[in-house]
Amino acid sequence: MHTLDTLSFDNSYTQLPEHFFQRVKPTPLTDPYLISLNTEVAQWLDLDPCALKPDRLAEIFSGQASLPGADPIAMKYTGHQFGVYNPDLGDGRGVLLGEVINEAGERLDLHLKGAGKTPFSRFGDGRAVLRSSIREYLVSEAMHGLGIPTTRALCLVGSKQLAMRDGGMEPCATVLRVTPCHVRFGHFEYFYYSRRHDDLKILADYCLERYFSDCLEQDNPYLAMLQVIIRRTAKLVAQWQAYGFVHAVLNTDNMSLIGETFDYGPFSFMDTYKPDTISNQNDHKGRYAFSQQPAVVHWNLACLAQTLLTLVDKDALVKALDGYPALYEVAFLEQMRGRLGLAQAEEQDTQLVDDLLQLFTEQAVDMNRFFRRLAEFDGSEASLTKLMELLRNPAAINDWLLRYEHRLQREDQPAAQRAEQMNKINPEFVLRNYMAQEAIRTATDGDFTLVNDLLALLRKPMQPNKQFAYYAESPPDWAGAICLTCSS
């Protein structure tokens, strides 16, 4: 096990040409303190959680001290924001401290979000506030618990320092984000639109070597890399749709090259199934509504593919992109079969799923609570009543449920085994907006208990928890009034 001072750094990105980034040191926060430590991520980095001192964590990840071996940089990229190309993007409030290699040989980026101004901050102050930091810290672990690819976070550090936001002065914080990859679609767009094709090839070669080494053996490694990215990203958005997750800001600069959920902002897990849900109140035209996510991701992938025109034949790029819809549909149906407890594939399953989603829409069903109760359904009146409680018109489920029972009869597995498998992928708990809001409110008052309790709860979302059983019930009435924006 390592200490913070003996982490094994090997900062490969800083070995690229210097105009790929700007070296910059974090600007220290005043009076920092540790709010939470994610012990699982600490162990991922080969750190002994019991040996980590809160004051030392706060000192380093508030920017007051540096890590031996780190080489902090702000990465340059661009991207399409709400469909419009913006050439002035980059790490505006985050600093890539460096790359750590753990004992398993994994290369992991340490990225400090809220680290202060960088050359790419534009008119921003480079800070992240406690509100948004808590949300990202918790949701990254919640997504990991659901099995959805995501960045994770080592720790959350608070401060008495304040920053001005839409609602007034708010306390600042930092999140130490950990992931194998911080390269975005926007990195490639930067070099493509600035006509630096030699630099784009350098970046592509770097990404092939670091993230897609299996593609190096293919006839055209760049095309093979894109095909992997398309496949991973299609599966990722299928998982979002299957669990009712709304990313809310799917700009190309918020798209991870390796298919992880990245750069959390005004995200939501839908309390009731509404395809036109817009989680970000700044999204006035609904570009990033829940139902639009698969198509927007396809559009984003096309932006990435376009940057490879100097490396891959256009027809091959188009063919790869044309394969996305089928990849998404297959991945989504696979996710939904799992949620329904169907181990075998039948052609009629598509209609069964489509009709269920239509039922969810018409009856404003909480999809995650529904699937959890569906696992308990055994034909008894008690289990039927539990399902019907989730619908505006209880009788509306009768036809679908009868077809579902007939479908289950063609499965080989016993009911008990089916229920067990369903409970392994259908969560008892998801991070609802009101839960995050409660944690933000208590943390703002100086009580971090709920932040840490939710971290533990969401890490194992499939397991019942008597202490927090109320979080598995219907959200309170005030939850619907929560307003989320890009302001963080």
Phi, psi of 21 (to 5 degrees): -160, 175
Q: What would the two tokens of residue 268 be?
A: 């939501």
Q: Of 410, 431, 459, which closes a domain?
A: 410
Compute CA 79 distance to the chain's CA centroid, rounded to the nearest angstrom.
18
Q: Is residue 480 part of a domain?
A: no
pLDDT in tens, 162-181: 999 988 999 999 999 999 99
Q: Of 185, 209, 232, which closes a domain?
A: 185
Which residues sit opposite 155 in a β-bridge?
37
Q: Is residue 300 part of a domain?
A: no
Q: Is residue 231 part of a domain?
A: no
Question: What gap in Å lies between CA 13 and CA 249, rounded to an integer?
Answer: 26
**Model confidence at 223, in pLDDT bands (50, 70, 90)?**
very high
Among 398, 407, 188, which residue's Cα sits nearest to residue 303? 188
Phi, psi of 461 (to 5 degrees): -70, -15
Q: Is residue 276 part of a domain?
A: no
Q: What is the C-alpha end-to-end distance of the chain, expressed in Å?
A: 35
Grouping H, G, I as helix, E, B as strand and the rest as coil, residue 2 is strand
User: 253 catalytic, yes or no?
Assistant: yes
Enumerate the H helices of 159-292 as residue ranges: 185-193, 197-211, 221-243
Phi, psi of 36 (to 5 degrees): -160, 145
Q: Is residue 429 part of a domain?
A: no
Question: What gap in Å lies between CA 427 and CA 372, rounded to an integer?
Answer: 7
Among 36, 58, 27, which residue's Cα sits nearest to residue 156? 36
**Model confidence at 424, in pLDDT bands (50, 70, 90)?**
very high
Percent of the chain with pLDDT over 90: 98
**Model confidence at 488, in pLDDT bands (50, 70, 90)?**
low
Does residue 487 register a pLDDT over 80? no
Q: What torsion, rounded to 10 degrees, do the Cα atoms 359, 365, 366, 367 define?
A: -10
Q: Is residue 298 part of a domain?
A: no
Which residues sit opposite 74 in a β-bridge?
22
Which residues sit opposite 162 in a β-bridge?
171
Does residue 25 register a pLDDT over 80? yes
DSSP characters for 191-227?
HHHTT-HHHHHHHHHHHHHHH-GGGGGSSSHHHHHHH
Question: What gap in Å lies between CA 292 and CA 288, rounded to an integer?
Answer: 6
Q: What is the mean pLDDT of residues 241-248?
A: 98
Contact residues for 416 (Cβ-Cβ < 8 A; gap 6+): none
**Model confidence at 486, in pLDDT bands (50, 70, 90)?**
confident
Amino acid at 266: P
Query: How many CA within 13 A on the CB side of residue 369?
Result: 23
pLDDT in tens, 275-305: 999 999 999 999 999 999 999 999 999 999 9
Q: Are 114 and 106 in contact (CB under 8 A)?
A: no
Tell me the residue range of the domain where 34 lies: 4-185
> How many domains does the chain divide into?
2
Q: What is the mean pLDDT of residues 380-392?
A: 95
Q: Are 77 and 189 in contact (CB under 8 A)?
A: yes
Q: Of 410, 440, 459, which closes a domain?
A: 410
Q: Is residue 309 part of a domain?
A: no
Q: Which of 46, 91, 109, 253 is catalytic?
A: 253
pLDDT in tens, 73-116: 999 999 999 999 999 999 999 999 999 999 999 999 999 999 99
Q: What would the two tokens of residue 356 be?
A: 């269920």
Contact residues for 70 (Cβ-Cβ < 8 A; gap 6+): 9, 11, 97, 98, 110
Q: Is residue 485 part of a domain?
A: no
Go through 288-305 and write b for each residue having 16 or more CB atoms within 10 A of its CB, e for each that does not. Answer: bbbebbbebbbbbbebbb
Mean confidence (pLDDT) of the chain: 97
Q: Are 136 and 113 in contact (CB under 8 A)?
A: yes
Q: CB 70: neighbour CB atoms within 10 A? A: 21
Percent of the chain with pLDDT over 70: 100
